[in-house]
Structure 1
């Protein structure tokens, strides 16, 4: 929407009640003329015109103000519309994950972090969990689904890298599979909630007194 059109629309919206008041004043003046006579109506005309001038002046000021704010409001509306569209896509992706029995490792990391499932994983909670899941796998605390020889080779290279100075750790593909059962087991053991999968940390039961 153009800035002049936006400013005009906002002005009409904000001052619609005042314009209705002007119409009400004119109607009252006409009614006064027929009910009380011309003399009484003429006495009220200056007040009606003063009100009209005030409303027109306010409308001009409001239009100038809305014109200055129009670019920001247009950008804000575009941003909100984009956020709503992204939110709808995120909801669709979360619904898809709920129906799955397994996930890519990066999807599992997003679920653990409670962030929208997007790849590449943004720096922060999702990326932290992604690296943590890889570390847990390398240290035999997490099971992943892939070619067994390939997985064992990755672990062997990791152990060697800890023994041989300067040897790089093996890279683990973000798209390696983890089952839902394994992810839930890991989350429970570490008291991590995954609301999308209906998993919330269990609070310790109160001891009987």
Structure 2
């Protein structure tokens, strides 16, 4: 037979066992609490990340649309009376500028319709009627056409990289914008008048197909 434990010793042993069980339970609760807290933090981080991605996506979608140009034709009739100052001459020319929205191309043609003597340059300028403006696109830079000239002086496609002056680094839309505001003109220079031998303000032509 096992010897009986002293009641006092037995009581202390039972108390020690209860204390050990309580400590184990407390440790388990602590571990569980830490795990739960970590899970909550993870959920919050994931929620914030998803919210940030949605916000970024939303801001991208609401960015303003790029400027879209519609097909159109612009034109000018160049005469000496439009020059600054006016020039007495019978010379004249026509300039057409056509934007094709499907091909996204802006093409031009400058044709002398009544002979001009020794034409040496031509360009598009930013400026209102009666003022001396700034060059934004060079159409013809020579060599000078010796003597009396009639016919096509320049034609081609306007390229954004070739815009100069106030429109340097700009777009075709920027050029079209000043034309539609009535703030662009075409000028031909010659030996006698290097600038504005004949000149004409650009404007949108109505009732013309650009196809």
- For this structure pair, what is the TM-score category when the shorter chain's length is used for normalisation? under 0.3
Question: TM (normalized to structure 2)?
Answer: 0.27
In terms of fraction of residues, the more strand-rich structure is: 2
Question: TM (normalized to structure 1)?
Answer: 0.27
In terms of fraction of residues, the more helix-rich structure is: 1
| Higher relative contact order (CA closer than 8 Å, sequence separation 6+) | 2
Determine which structure has more spread, i.e. the larger CA radius of gyration. 2
